[in-house]
Amino acid sequence: MAMKIEIWSDVMCPFCYIGKKNFEAALEKLPFRDELEVEWKSFQLDRTLDPAKTISTLDYFKQKKGFPEAQAEQMISQVTHAGKNAGIDFNFNDVQITNTYPAHRLLHLSKKYDCSSQTEEALFQAHFIDGKNVADTEVLLSIAASVGMDRDTAKVAVTSHQFDEEIDQDMMEAEHNNVRGVPFFILNGKYAVSGAQPAALFEEALQQTYDETESARFSAQGGTCDTDECSL
């Protein structure tokens, strides 16, 4: 049985992109990486945004979050620096912030094609590097095609309510697990890692969880006897 990693994330979250890069850097160092099952789950940081409109990062911080311009610029600078440490060249000047629900619909379709991580990466790239609108249907269809999904199937997914129940279920699970911010990782249903932690911390946490899982699996193997009978 594979060890499962659940990751709550939102496309508009720069720390989710950083966390993804650091998590994947940790995976590269682990000999059991092919035994892991990674599931990306939906989380929306701002459900009030209009998917028909976009806003710049600076204006979003000023208008929606109420930050003074100098503070907003400082925050953008800090995130840009953190991104470089993870190998990401954020292009906040061109970022178009919008409602990410359509992007989450595409992510849920990607599970059917077994390309969730590739789709997540393509969405982050489109949003943070290429300055594309990830609520735009044509943008999403282009991303779908780039990772091997059928365009017609993707169009139905992103323009209908096909995956809305699954998306809402993810967000209810997040609430149940007291997820207040993303990225949020749950390792094999037992341990939580919150935020864009360094690769070394992810590596240590994954190794510890894997070792405990293997130990439990070993203990569970073989026959047992109780006072009435023996069984395999």
pLDDT tens profile 48-69: 999 999 999 999 999 999 999 9
Helix (H, G, I), strand (E, B) or coil at 6: strand
The residue type at 46: D
222 within some domain:
no
pLDDT tens column, 97-154:
999 999 999 999 999 999 999 999 999 999 999 999 999 999 999 999 999 999 999 9
230 within some domain:
no
Tell me the two tokens of residue 220: 């569970």
Tell me the two tokens of residue 191: 């341990």
pLDDT tens column, 177-194:
999 899 999 999 999 999
Q: Which residues contact 217 (CB under 8 A, 6 or more apart)?
A: 1
Percentage, residues of the chain above pLDDT 70: 92
CATH number for the domain that contains residue 47: 3.40.30.10
176 within some domain:
yes
* CB 202, CB 22: distance < 8 Å: yes
144 within some domain:
yes
* CB 140, CB 98: distance < 8 Å: no
Question: How far apart are the C-alpha atoms of 232 and 227, rounded to whole Å?
Answer: 15
Q: Which domain holds residue 194?
A: 3-212
pTM (two decimals): 0.91
Residue labelled with tokens 């203990």: 219
In the chain, the number of structural domains is 1
Q: Which residues contact 119 (CB under 8 A, 6 or more apart)?
A: 106, 107, 110, 143, 144, 147, 149
185 within some domain:
yes
Tell me the two tokens of residue 157: 């997914």
Question: How far apart are the C-alpha atoms of 187 and 34, rounded to whole Å?
Answer: 15
232 within some domain:
no
Q: Is the peptide bond before 183 cis (omega within 30 degrees of 0)?
A: yes
